[in-house]
A = this chain, B = another copy of it.
Amino acid sequence: MSLEVKQQSLRLGRFERGVHLVTGNVLRGLTIASGCRAGLLHVQLLHTSCSLALNENASPDVRMDLEAFLDQLVPDDTGYFSHTAEGRDDMPAHVKSVVTGSSLILPLSNGHPVLGTWQGIYLCEHRDAGGERRLHATVIGDFS
């Protein structure tokens, strides 16, 4: 067995506010998992107002309902927020990012993430105009 660490940065692109299924976007851009027999893949957003989650990869309804839940949990017009200078969607975006989390770690087997049948990677864009989102990816595993 021969363990290696590989890292890369990965541009995800721009997304509308909402919850997006990005499994394909992540895997297409990820070159460092290739040849990894077994290991772990860590992906981290380098931003504080969007987040990553693992959830249902089939029905778009689930992603719409998750967005609706998050908007109801932390409304744009939350009256007690004082950090409002960057827009009414900014502080809610920070809170949603903390609640959901900004990184994922997945098992890798034969170059592919191990996911349940119904699991996919969500990018949750919490800003109205978040701009381009970037990930930093790390693979530690057996490349023998």
A→B interface (CB under 8 Å)? 1, 3-7, 37-40, 42, 44-48, 53-56, 59, 61-62, 64-66, 68-69, 72-74, 78, 80-83, 91, 94-95, 97-107, 109, 114-119, 122, 134, 136, 138, 140-142
Closest to A124 in B: B98
Are A40 and B42 in touch, CB under 8 angstroms?
yes
Beyond A5-B37, A54-B102: 5 further Cβ-contacts under 8 Å?
Answer: A1-B4, A7-B114, A44-B114, A46-B114, A105-B105
CB-CB < 8 A to A106: which residues of B?
A: 44
This chain's copy number in the assembly: 3
Are B7 and A107 in touch, CB under 8 angstroms?
yes
**Nearest 4 A-B pairs (CB), nearest first?**
A46-B116, A61-B83, A5-B38, A48-B56
Q: Is the interface of A mostly helix, strand, loop or mixed?
A: mixed
Are A62 and B42 in touch, CB under 8 angstroms?
no
Q: Which of B37, B64, B73 contacts A82 (CB 8 A)?
A: B64
Are B40 and A138 in touch, CB under 8 angstroms?
yes
CA distance A100 to B119 in the complex (A): 15
Are B74 and A119 in touch, CB under 8 angstroms?
no
Closest-CB distance, A100 to chain B (whole angstroms): 6
Are A101 and B103 in touch, CB under 8 angstroms?
no
